[in-house]
Structure 1
Protein backbone atom coordinates (compact mmCIF):
# COMPACT_ATOMS: atom_id res chain seq x y z
CA UNK A 1 0.00 0.00 0.00
CA UNK A 2 2.90 2.35 0.74
CA UNK A 3 4.23 1.98 -2.82
CA UNK A 4 0.80 2.77 -4.22
CA UNK A 5 0.61 5.94 -2.15
CA UNK A 6 4.09 7.05 -3.25
CA UNK A 7 3.15 6.52 -6.88
CA UNK A 8 -0.14 8.39 -6.39
CA UNK A 9 1.73 11.31 -4.77
CA UNK A 10 4.08 11.49 -7.73
CA UNK A 11 1.25 11.38 -10.26
CA UNK A 12 -0.75 14.06 -8.43
CA UNK A 13 2.34 16.29 -8.22
CA UNK A 14 3.01 15.94 -11.95
CA UNK A 15 -0.62 16.38 -13.03
CA UNK A 16 -1.32 19.40 -10.81
CA UNK A 17 1.88 20.99 -12.10
CA UNK A 18 0.77 20.42 -15.71
CA UNK A 19 -2.71 21.79 -15.01
CA UNK A 20 -1.33 24.95 -13.40
CA UNK A 21 1.10 25.55 -16.26
CA UNK A 22 -1.27 24.72 -19.14
CA UNK A 23 -4.83 25.47 -18.01
CA UNK A 24 -4.67 28.13 -15.30
CA UNK A 25 -3.77 31.72 -16.24
CA UNK A 26 -1.59 33.06 -13.41
CA UNK A 27 0.99 35.46 -14.83
CA UNK A 28 1.77 37.64 -11.78
CA UNK A 29 3.64 34.86 -9.97
CA UNK A 30 5.91 33.81 -12.82
CA UNK A 31 6.84 30.16 -12.67
CA UNK A 32 4.86 28.22 -10.07
CA UNK A 33 6.57 25.04 -8.94
CA UNK A 34 4.77 22.09 -7.39
CA UNK A 35 7.44 20.66 -5.09
CA UNK A 36 5.64 17.68 -3.59
CA UNK A 37 2.29 16.08 -2.84
CA UNK A 38 1.39 14.21 0.33
CA UNK A 39 -1.78 12.12 0.29
CA UNK A 40 -3.63 11.29 3.51
CA UNK A 41 -3.75 7.66 4.63
CA UNK A 42 -7.46 7.37 3.81
CA UNK A 43 -6.94 9.09 0.40
CA UNK A 44 -9.51 11.77 1.29
CA UNK A 45 -7.13 14.67 0.76
CA UNK A 46 -3.77 15.53 -0.69
CA UNK A 47 -1.59 18.43 0.40
CA UNK A 48 0.12 19.92 -2.63
CA UNK A 49 3.14 22.07 -1.80
CA UNK A 50 3.86 24.98 -4.14
CA UNK A 51 6.46 27.73 -4.55
CA UNK A 52 6.87 30.78 -6.71
CA UNK A 53 10.20 32.42 -7.45
CA UNK A 54 8.78 35.93 -7.77
CA UNK A 55 6.41 36.38 -4.82
CA UNK A 56 4.73 34.13 -2.31
CA UNK A 57 2.25 36.44 -0.54
CA UNK A 58 -1.02 35.82 -2.38
CA UNK A 59 -0.12 32.60 -4.17
CA UNK A 60 -2.33 30.41 -1.96
CA UNK A 61 -5.28 32.80 -2.29
CA UNK A 62 -5.04 32.80 -6.09
CA UNK A 63 -4.68 29.00 -6.31
CA UNK A 64 -7.53 28.43 -3.86
CA UNK A 65 -9.80 30.67 -5.96
CA UNK A 66 -9.08 28.34 -8.89
CA UNK A 67 -9.18 25.09 -6.90
CA UNK A 68 -12.50 24.02 -8.44
CA UNK A 69 -11.08 24.21 -11.98
CA UNK A 70 -7.86 22.47 -10.96
CA UNK A 71 -9.76 19.67 -9.21
CA UNK A 72 -12.15 19.34 -12.17
CA UNK A 73 -9.18 18.89 -14.54
CA UNK A 74 -7.42 16.49 -12.16
CA UNK A 75 -10.28 14.08 -11.45
CA UNK A 76 -10.53 12.43 -14.89
CA UNK A 77 -6.74 12.30 -15.24
CA UNK A 78 -6.33 10.14 -12.13
CA UNK A 79 -8.98 7.57 -13.05
CA UNK A 80 -9.64 6.67 -9.42
CA UNK A 81 -12.95 5.83 -7.79
CA UNK A 82 -12.17 8.27 -4.98
CA UNK A 83 -9.99 11.23 -5.97
CA UNK A 84 -8.28 13.04 -3.07
CA UNK A 85 -9.35 16.63 -2.42
CA UNK A 86 -6.47 19.00 -3.21
CA UNK A 87 -5.25 21.36 -0.47
CA UNK A 88 -2.54 23.85 -1.42
CA UNK A 89 0.26 24.82 0.97
CA UNK A 90 3.36 26.95 0.57
CA UNK A 91 6.56 24.93 0.60
CA UNK A 92 8.87 26.58 3.08
CA UNK A 93 11.53 23.85 3.05
CA UNK A 94 13.80 25.82 0.73
CA UNK A 95 13.82 28.78 3.11
CA UNK A 96 14.64 26.42 5.97
CA UNK A 97 17.54 24.92 4.01
CA UNK A 98 18.83 28.40 3.11
CA UNK A 99 18.82 29.40 6.78
CA UNK A 100 20.73 26.27 7.77
CA UNK A 101 23.31 26.89 5.02
CA UNK A 102 23.80 30.48 6.21
CA UNK A 103 24.32 29.27 9.78
CA UNK A 104 26.82 26.64 8.64
CA UNK A 105 28.75 29.24 6.62
CA UNK A 106 29.16 31.38 9.74
CA UNK A 107 30.72 28.49 11.67
Structure 2
Protein backbone atom coordinates (compact mmCIF):
# COMPACT_ATOMS: atom_id res chain seq x y z
CA UNK A 1 0.00 0.00 0.00
CA UNK A 2 1.31 3.41 -0.85
CA UNK A 3 1.98 6.06 1.72
CA UNK A 4 -0.44 8.44 -0.02
CA UNK A 5 -3.25 5.86 0.10
CA UNK A 6 -2.65 5.18 3.80
CA UNK A 7 -2.60 8.91 4.53
CA UNK A 8 -5.85 9.51 2.66
CA UNK A 9 -7.52 6.59 4.45
CA UNK A 10 -6.47 7.97 7.85
CA UNK A 11 -7.69 11.48 6.95
CA UNK A 12 -11.06 10.09 5.85
CA UNK A 13 -11.34 8.02 9.02
CA UNK A 14 -10.50 11.00 11.24
CA UNK A 15 -12.83 13.41 9.44
CA UNK A 16 -15.83 11.09 9.38
CA UNK A 17 -15.38 10.15 13.04
CA UNK A 18 -15.19 13.82 13.95
CA UNK A 19 -18.26 14.71 11.87
CA UNK A 20 -20.30 11.84 13.32
CA UNK A 21 -19.42 12.93 16.83
CA UNK A 22 -19.78 16.70 16.38
CA UNK A 23 -22.28 17.34 13.59
CA UNK A 24 -24.74 14.45 13.48
CA UNK A 25 -27.27 14.49 16.29
CA UNK A 26 -28.48 10.93 15.94
CA UNK A 27 -28.69 8.81 19.08
CA UNK A 28 -28.09 5.60 17.10
CA UNK A 29 -24.62 6.92 16.17
CA UNK A 30 -23.56 7.77 19.72
CA UNK A 31 -21.71 4.45 20.15
CA UNK A 32 -20.67 3.92 16.53
CA UNK A 33 -17.01 3.23 15.78
CA UNK A 34 -15.25 3.48 12.46
CA UNK A 35 -13.10 0.37 12.39
CA UNK A 36 -11.45 0.76 8.99
CA UNK A 37 -11.39 2.74 5.75
CA UNK A 38 -10.37 1.28 2.41
CA UNK A 39 -9.84 3.51 -0.61
CA UNK A 40 -9.71 2.16 -4.17
CA UNK A 41 -6.46 2.65 -6.09
CA UNK A 42 -7.92 5.45 -8.20
CA UNK A 43 -9.34 7.18 -5.07
CA UNK A 44 -12.87 7.18 -6.51
CA UNK A 45 -14.49 5.10 -3.73
CA UNK A 46 -13.90 4.88 -0.01
CA UNK A 47 -15.45 2.01 1.91
CA UNK A 48 -15.98 2.90 5.55
CA UNK A 49 -16.44 -0.01 7.93
CA UNK A 50 -18.47 0.87 10.99
CA UNK A 51 -19.48 -1.11 14.05
CA UNK A 52 -22.12 -0.40 16.65
CA UNK A 53 -21.96 -1.14 20.36
CA UNK A 54 -25.67 -1.88 20.60
CA UNK A 55 -27.41 -4.30 18.23
CA UNK A 56 -30.56 -2.16 18.06
CA UNK A 57 -28.58 0.84 16.71
CA UNK A 58 -27.35 -0.93 13.56
CA UNK A 59 -30.27 -0.32 11.19
CA UNK A 60 -31.11 3.25 12.29
CA UNK A 61 -27.40 4.07 12.44
CA UNK A 62 -26.74 2.89 8.90
CA UNK A 63 -29.82 4.80 7.70
CA UNK A 64 -28.58 7.97 9.42
CA UNK A 65 -25.17 7.59 7.75
CA UNK A 66 -26.80 7.16 4.34
CA UNK A 67 -28.85 10.32 4.88
CA UNK A 68 -25.77 12.27 6.00
CA UNK A 69 -23.54 10.98 3.21
CA UNK A 70 -23.48 14.37 1.41
CA UNK A 71 -22.47 16.29 4.54
CA UNK A 72 -19.80 13.72 5.39
CA UNK A 73 -18.40 13.78 1.86
CA UNK A 74 -18.24 17.60 1.99
CA UNK A 75 -16.29 17.43 5.25
CA UNK A 76 -13.90 14.87 3.74
CA UNK A 77 -13.37 17.01 0.64
CA UNK A 78 -12.36 20.00 2.79
CA UNK A 79 -9.73 17.89 4.55
CA UNK A 80 -8.30 16.20 1.45
CA UNK A 81 -5.95 17.86 -0.99
CA UNK A 82 -6.90 15.60 -3.89
CA UNK A 83 -8.54 16.60 -7.15
CA UNK A 84 -11.62 14.50 -6.53
CA UNK A 85 -13.33 13.34 -3.37
CA UNK A 86 -14.09 9.63 -3.15
CA UNK A 87 -17.67 8.40 -3.10
CA UNK A 88 -18.43 7.13 0.43
CA UNK A 89 -19.71 3.58 0.90
CA UNK A 90 -20.73 2.56 4.41
CA UNK A 91 -20.52 -1.11 5.37
CA UNK A 92 -21.38 -2.75 8.65
CA UNK A 93 -18.28 -4.27 10.24
CA UNK A 94 -19.28 -7.52 11.85
CA UNK A 95 -15.75 -8.82 12.47
CA UNK A 96 -16.07 -8.33 16.24
CA UNK A 97 -19.26 -10.40 16.28
CA UNK A 98 -17.63 -13.03 14.11
CA UNK A 99 -14.63 -13.15 16.46
CA UNK A 100 -16.81 -13.57 19.54
CA UNK A 101 -18.74 -16.33 17.74
CA UNK A 102 -15.46 -18.16 17.02
CA UNK A 103 -14.40 -17.67 20.66
CA UNK A 104 -17.65 -19.21 21.92
CA UNK A 105 -17.21 -22.20 19.59
CA UNK A 106 -13.64 -22.73 20.81
CA UNK A 107 -14.71 -22.41 24.43
CA UNK A 108 -17.49 -24.96 23.85
CA UNK A 109 -14.99 -27.37 22.31
CA UNK A 110 -12.59 -26.95 25.25
CA UNK A 111 -15.39 -27.62 27.73
CA UNK A 112 -16.24 -30.90 26.00
CA UNK A 113 -12.70 -32.25 26.48
Normalising to structure 2: TM-score of the pair?
0.86
SS at match of 2:59: coil
Distance 1:56 1:21 in 2: 16
Stretches of 4+ aligned residues off by more than 2 angstroms: none
1:105 to 97, 100, 107: 107
Q: CA deviation at 1:48?
A: 0.5
Structure with greater helix percent: 2
Q: CA deviation at 1:44?
A: 0.4
**How many pairs does the alignment contain?**
107
Q: CA RMSD in A?
A: 1.4
Normalising to structure 1: TM-score of the pair?
0.90
Contact 1:29 1:53 in 2 (8 A): no
Distance 2:62 2:72 in 1: 13
SS at match of 1:9: helix
* Worse overlay, 53-62 or 41-50: 53-62
Residue matched to 1:30: 30
> Where do 5+ consecutive residues of structure 1 fail to align?
none
> Where do 5+ consecutive residues of structure 2 fail to align?
none
Distance 1:7 1:79 in 2: 11
Tell me if 1:53 matches 2:53. yes
